[in-house]
């Protein structure tokens, strides 16, 4: 696994895009702080630039470094989540504009997946986590469902966990500036 992680991190450092198994579905990723890498991913997916990306982080400590408003309720939400949870935070710092929604908010997930944590820790920065498909197509939950055309366009594919089972997308909750909580996807 170490060799896969090394290659994934090297690709991320060079502004490349990776295809990797996440704690939810198979994802496409890049450096969430690099505008050019995010732009490359937008073009690869044939996705509108106005759409934001989910960002994956390895810990609450990393999350605190990149968010400007971190209501206490977020600690409880993260600690009590029984499945992967993406929280939309009202504002962030040090992340590229392509990961932000029009209102400046960003969906962020602290992963519990060991492979994802190792990649992020070794890389030292958050990474984008978007579904491994072309825009408008169904999100693939299994590696075999990913388009061969998309696989061919990737800079690196992390095949470490091909044995993983099919999964579903994360829950999504939006946090308001007043610490209000709104469920977006169950």
DSSP state of 67: B
Residue 56 is predicted with a pLDDT of: 97
The token pair at 134 is: 């072309």
- DSSP for 98-142? GGS-TTS-EEEEE---HHHHHHHHHHTS-EEEEESS-TTSPPPSS
Residue entry with tokens 């409880």: 76
Where would I find the beta strands (DSSP E) of 31-111? 54-57, 85-89, 106-110
Residue 173 is predicted with a pLDDT of: 78
Whether the model pTM is above 0.85: yes
The domain spans of the chain are 2-185
Residue 160 is predicted with a pLDDT of: 66
Residue 27 is predicted with a pLDDT of: 92
Other CB atoms within 10 A of residue 138 CB: 8
Q: In this structure, are residues 10 and 18 in contact, taking their beta carbons and an 8 Å threshold?
A: no
Nearest-angstrom CA–CA distance, 26 and 97: 23
Residue 166 is predicted with a pLDDT of: 55
Residue 163 is predicted with a pLDDT of: 46
- What is the dotted CATH code of the domain comprising 2-185? 3.90.870.10
Q: In this structure, are residues 8 and 119 in contact, taking their beta carbons and an 8 Å threshold?
A: yes
Helix (H, G, I), strand (E, B) or coil at 163: coil
Residue 180 is predicted with a pLDDT of: 78
Residue 164 is predicted with a pLDDT of: 52
Using alpha carbons, select from 175, 109, 163, 156 the residue that is nearest to residue 5.
Answer: 156
Q: Which residues of the chain have pLDDT under 50?
A: 163, 165
Using alpha carbons, select from 182, 166, 156 the residue that is nearest to residue 71.
Answer: 182
């Amino acid at each position: 696994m170490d060799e896969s992680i090394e290659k994934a991190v090297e690709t991320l450092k060079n502004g490349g895009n990776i295809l990797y198994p996440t704690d939810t579905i198979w994802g496409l990723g890049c450096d969430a702080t690099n505008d050019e890498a995010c732009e490359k991913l937008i073009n690869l997916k044939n996705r509108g630039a106005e759409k934001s990306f989910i960002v994956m982080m390895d810990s609450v400590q990393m999350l605190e470094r990149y968010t400007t408003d971190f209501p206490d309720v977020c600690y409880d939400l993260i600690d009590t989540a029984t499945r992967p949870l993406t929280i939309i935070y009202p504002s962030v710092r040090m992340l590229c504009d392509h990961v932000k929604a029009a209102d400046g908010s960003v969906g962020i997930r602290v992963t519990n997946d060991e492979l994802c944590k190792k990649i992020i820790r070794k890389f030292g920065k958050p990474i984008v986590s978007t579904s491994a498909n072309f825009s408008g197509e169904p999100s693939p939950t299994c590696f075999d469902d990913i388009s061969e055309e998309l696989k061919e366009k990737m800079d690196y594919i992390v095949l470490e966990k091909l044995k993983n089972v099919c999964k579903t997308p994360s829950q999504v909750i939006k946090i308001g500036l007043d610490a209000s909580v709104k469920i977006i996807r169950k």
